[in-house]
Structure formats: structure tokens, C-alpha cells
């Protein structure tokens, strides 16, 4: 890490400031009408954070409804496979945080539990959310059913077509799915529509945002709810091995599973961290979703961060084989962590992810989602350059049931 970064705070975990800034990023760029709501939400979140009863209910639901703690798993056969062709004594030990075993199949539910408890605490009676691939929509629909609250999910019309199984799951769980036909008809447009609904229905509606983005305090509260991943992993690793991992790796869409894993380790100077963006067909063209590698700072969805955009500041549409990674922005805390040098960011192409997906299936008997397959691709590259007594811990943030049709199509297999 870059310890000589200017104005480095004493703790990397002390951000954001009162107005939601992570360095120059974050903030709350919202319409006048939304400001009172955002302030209300922030006040209520501060109170909830300090309330042991709120924390106790959150922990209880994570244990008995979500299935936490998720296991920490030493992937010995994968580690061995990655050692082929490397010098003796090289090739790191790969471990996984098994968040793909959560109820609804990914990490998204951790955040949904936290936000719906906040909604109930605020007396809100109507829940809205945006979704891209449908994973956040399914997790939101599940917690709404669990608490008996009506649920409206905004989803780009193009995604509705591409993600039929998740659309049906949301409907089974009692949610209304509203296709969004503006713009590129994908996630970014669905999020605009969610923010619009919120402004129009401020009195009774709570907006459950699905990643560590949006106006302050969303990036902070989503991070806090997802940090259960890193807190568990840190304690589990110490208990199992007596030491901390040498490197953490996680895939980045908006950045919530990555910040959830990284945040509890940020002040552990010996732990390197790597966020992995989707390089799609390659970073040379425009067919990727790597906001840090291929974007520049701008304002979207209420916060300032790195965004994929054209010369005129028009938001560009991201591409990735993984629908969960094609958000054109990245959470503001990652933008800051990148600029101060505490976290490194890398990318993996569609092809890298497909190869890693198949490798994990065959070596460990685990079918990962295509999102963490990007992280595994980066693990494969980095493990070779590390010693065989070093530890890489990657977040296996979702399971691959939802992706088997996409993978079959990419491999040319008829189904």
C-alpha cells in the first residue's frame, strides 16, 4: 500500500466525512425534494447503528434466515491446479469466503436485511428497488415477503427479457416488476426510475439500493451491512490459521461485496487488496464495464465517482458477460481507495471469467456465479507470483445457477 499518500487519514476505516465524502468522491447530488429524506435516513441510520436492539435483530436474521456465518474454505485442489508450471515453492494457498451459500444465492441479502429493518424502524410501508441481473431484486422481494411489505422492482426492459428466471422468482415472492423503457433499458435507467419514484412517494416509501453507491448515506450503510463478510472472514482466518491473509480479492460491479470484504481489513497494513472489474471484450474498446480502468470522475445517481462516459459526459453502457457487473459506475469509497493507493484494481475479460468458472467447477465441485469468476481469474494470475505459504482469500459472492444458460451459450452448448 502507498503509505506516503498525501493527507492519508490515521484510519482508512474512518471515512466518509459528515457530508458523505470519501476524499473528493461521494457526497449527495440530489434534487431539492430528496434532501429532507436523505437527511432523515441519515439521522435514523445513526440511531440504528447505536441501538443494540437493531444490531441484535440484524444478527439474528443473518444467522437464522440468511444462514450466516458463511464458511471459510481452503480450496486445496484449485491451489494445486494453479501451481502447475510454476517454480517450486511458488503458488499461493487459495481460500474462499462462501457467500454463495447465503439464502437467495449471493451477498445481496445481507444488505437487504439491514435496509428493510431500517425501513420498518422509519415507519415506511412501501419498498422500492432497482435491479440489473435480478439478484438484488430477488433478495429485496424475499425480505419484503418476510416482513409483509409491498415491493416494487424497477428493472430495465432489456434486462427483463434477458433475466426471465429471476423475473419469475421476484413475482413468486410477491413483487411487482416494472420494466423501464428509457435510455439503454438497463440497470442505470432502472436506478434513475427508482430515484424518481422515491421523490414522488417520499411519505411512505423506502428505497433499498443494491450496491455501495447512490447519495450519502447509502454507500456507508450498504458497506456497513456488507462488512459482516469481512468481519467473519477475518475472525475465521485467524481461528483457522493463526494469521491474516496476504491478499484479498473480490469482483466489482458497484463494489458492495468487495467493500464488505475489504473494510474490516483496511487498517491491516500487511493485507493487500485487489478489486476486479469486468473487462468484457477487452479494455481497448468500449465493450467493458471497468469504470476505474476506463472511466473518469463524474456525477451519477447522487454521488461523484469514476464513471464510464463519452467525451460529452454522457453515461456509456457497460458490457460484461456477467449482468451483475455491467454497472457504469463504482461506489465512491473504491474511487477513493484507488486514488490513495490502499487498494489495487485489476480486470478480467469475459473469456478469463469463463475459463475460471470452468476451472472452479472441475477442481472444487463449486459452480460460481460469473461475477466471482472474474475474481477467480485474477486469483489465478496472482497466485503464481506468490509463495506457497502465502494466502489469497477471495469472496465467492454468488452461486452460478442463474448463469448456466449464459455459460452454455458462450461455450456453444445447446440447452
Ligand X SMILES: *Cc1c(COP(=O)(O)O)cnc(C)c1O
Span 127-156, contacts to ligand X by CB under 6 A? 135
Using the contact rule CB under 6 A, the part of the chain among 60-68, 192-200, 255-263, 333-341 near ligand X is 255-263
Tell me the C-alpha distance between 107 and 210, whole Å. 10
Grid coordinates belonging to 399: 452461486
Tell me the C-alpha distance between 93 and 391, whole Å. 5
End-to-end CA distance of the chain: 46
The dihedrals phi and psi of 207, each to the nearest 5 degrees, come to -100, 115
Pick between residue 62 and residue 252 the one whose CB is nearest to ligand X: 252
- How many chain residues touch ligand X (CB under 6 A)? 18
Confirm or reject binding of residue 93 to ligand X (CB under 6 A).
no
Q: How far is the CB of 321 from ligand X (least distance, A)?
A: 13
Q: How far is the CB of 398 from ligand X (least distance, A)?
A: 2
- Selected from 245, 254, 294, 329, the binder of ligand X by CB under 6 A is 254
Q: How far is the CB of 329 from ligand X (least distance, A)?
A: 11
Q: How far is the CB of 226 from ligand X (least distance, A)?
A: 8
Span 35-64, contacts to ligand X by CB under 6 A? none
- Of 261, 277, 260, nearest to 326 by C-alpha is 277
Helix and strand numbers (H, E) in the chain are 16, 14
Spatial contact of 112 and 147, defined as CB atoms under 8 Å apart: no
Pick between residue 259 and residue 386 the one whose CB is nearest to ligand X: 259
Confirm or reject binding of residue 237 to ligand X (CB under 6 A).
no
Confirm or reject binding of residue 348 to ligand X (CB under 6 A).
no
Q: How far is the CB of 256 from ligand X (least distance, A)?
A: 3
Confirm or reject binding of residue 328 to ligand X (CB under 6 A).
no
Print burial letters for 342-373: b (CB count within 10 Å at least 16), e (below 16). bbbbbbbbbebbbbbbebbeebbebbbbbbbb
Print burial letters for 1-39: b (CB count within 10 Å at least 16), e (below 16). beeeeeeeeeebeebbeeebbbbebbbbebeeebeebbe
Span 256-275, contacts to ligand X by CB under 6 A? 256-258
Using the contact rule CB under 6 A, the part of the chain among 148-156, 163-171, 254-262, 380-388 near ligand X is 254-262
Pick between residue 141 and residue 386 the one whose CB is nearest to ligand X: 141
- Of 390, 161, 150, 346, nearest to 249 by C-alpha is 346
Pick between residue 109 and residue 151 the one whose CB is nearest to ligand X: 109
Per-residue binding string, ligand X, 199-228, x by CB under 6 A, is ------------x-----------------
Q: Which residues bind ligand X (CB under 6 A)?
A: 106, 108, 135, 211, 251-258, 324-325, 369, 371, 397-398
Amino acid at each position: 500500500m502507498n503509505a506516503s499518500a498525501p493527507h492519508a487519514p490515521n484510519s482508512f476505516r474512518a471515512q466518509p466525512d459528515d457530508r458523505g465524502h470519501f476524499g473528493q468522491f461521494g457526497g449527495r447530488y440530489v434534487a431539492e425534494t430528496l434532501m429532507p429524506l436523505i437527511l432523515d435516513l441519515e439521522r435514523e441510520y445513526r440511531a440504528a447503528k447505536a441501538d443494540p436492539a437493531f444490531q441484535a435483530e440484524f444478527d439474528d436474521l443473518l444467522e437464522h434466515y440468511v444462514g450466516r456465518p458463511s464458511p471459510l474454505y481452503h480450496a486445496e485442489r484449485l491451489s494445486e491446479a494453479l501451481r502447475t508450471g510454476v517454480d517450486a515453492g511458488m503458488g499461493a494457498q487459495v481460500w474462499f469466503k462462501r457467500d454463495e451459500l447465503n439464502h437467495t444465492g449471493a451477498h445481496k441479502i445481507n444488505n437487504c436485511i439491514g435496509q428493510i429493518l431500517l425501513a420498518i424502524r422509519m415507519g415506511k410501508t412501501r419498498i422500492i428497488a432497482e435491479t440489473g441481473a435480478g439478484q438484488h431484486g430477488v433478495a429485496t422481494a424475499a425480505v419484503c415477503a418476510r416482513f409483509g411489505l409491498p415491493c416494487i422492482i424497477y428493472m430495465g426492459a432489456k434486462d427483463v427479457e434477458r433475466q426471465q428466471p429471476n423475473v419469475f422468482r421476484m413475482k413468486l415472492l410477491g413483487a411487482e416488476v416494472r420494466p423501464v423503457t428509457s435510455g439503454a433499458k438497463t440497470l442505470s435507467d432502472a436506478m434513475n426510475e427508482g430515484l424518481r419514484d422515491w421523490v414522488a412517494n417520499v411519505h411512505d416509501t423506502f428505497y433499498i439500493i443494491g450496491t455501495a453507491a447512490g447519495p450519502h448515506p447509502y454507500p456507508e450503510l450498504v458497506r456497513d451491512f456488507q462488512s459482516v463478510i469481512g468481519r467473519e472472514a477475518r475472525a475465521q482466518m485467524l481461528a483457522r490459521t493463526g494469521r491474516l491473509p496476504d491478499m484479498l480479492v473480490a469482483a466489482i460491479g458497484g463494489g458492495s461485496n468487495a467493500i464488505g470484504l475489504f473494510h474490516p481489513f483496511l487498517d491491516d497494513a500487511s493485507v493487500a487488496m485487489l478489486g476486479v472489474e469486468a473487462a468484457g471484450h477487452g479494455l481497448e474498446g468500449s465493450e467493458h464495464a471497468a469504470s476505474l480502468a476506463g472511466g473518469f470522475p463524474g456525477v451519477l445517481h447522487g454521488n461523484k465517482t469514476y464513471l464510464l462516459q463519452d467525451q460529452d459526459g454522457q453515461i456509456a453502457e457497460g458490457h460484461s458477460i456477467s449482468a451483475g457487473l455491467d454497472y457504469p459506475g463504482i461506489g465512491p469509497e473504491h474511487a477513493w481507495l484507488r486514488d490513495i493507493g490502499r487498494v489495487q484494481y485489476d480486470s478480467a475479460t469475459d473469456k478469463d471469467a469463463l475459463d475460471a468458472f470452468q476451472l472452479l467447477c472441475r477442481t472444487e465441485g463449486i459452480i460460481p456465479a460469473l461475477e466471482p469468476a472474474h475474481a477467480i481469474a485474477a486469483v489465478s494470475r496472482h497466485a503464481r507470483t506468490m509463495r506457497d505459504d502465502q494466502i489469497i482469500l477471495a469472496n465467492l459472492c454468488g452461486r452460478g445457477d442463474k448463469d448456466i444458460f449464459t455459460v452454455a451459450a458462450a461455450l456453444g452448448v445447446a440447452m
